[in-house]
Amino acid sequence: MVVVLVIIGVMIFAATTPNAFRTERSASIKATPEKIYALLQDFHEWEVWSPWEKIDPAIVRTYSGAASGVGAIYEWDGNKEIGQGRMEITEATIPTKLVIKISFFKPFEAHNTVEFILTSQGENTQVTQAMYGPSPYLSKLMCLFFDMDKMVGGKQAEGLATIKEIAEKQMSS
């Protein structure tokens, strides 16, 4: 009886959590917004800096639509850790903003938004990457046991650190 009450309590508590989520990380990069933006707007460049790309060496990638910017599409099919999904650039304000619709199909379905904001600060550019979207009930339950901000935010920070390394190296050469 106690176990049943605990399960019911967890289910009720999950229902009271927010209906949306947002993770966000920022980095200051000593490079022009244009240099950084070039790494973001072309999905082919993501193979070089995205931490998700390193998880499954056998990932199957498909590119379609525009070569870069609005209309560029990237689809992936990978192992159980990265699953299957699709990204499409839906908004591009060169060199300050990029908005991507990201859809996950496996291991679970989710539809979110990824946003990059680049702000020039003298010799540096502040790059902020955010991911946000709805939190359906199943996601709310999962987030009670897995820290979404730590999990996704950690990968955002890792990706921004790699972008920093690449862009600063390009600027110095």
CA distance 89 to 91: 6
pTM: 0.86
Q: Which residues contact 117 (CB under 8 A, 6 or more apart)?
A: 96, 97, 126, 127, 128, 130
> Which amino acid is it at 143?
C
| pLDDT tens profile 23-74 | 999 999 999 999 999 999 999 999 999 999 999 989 999 999 999 999 999 9
pLDDT in tens, 94-108: 999 999 999 999 988
- Report yes or no: 89 and 98 within 8 Å, Cβ to Cβ: yes
| Residue 68: DSSP 8-state | S
CA 12/CA 28 separation, integer angstroms: 41
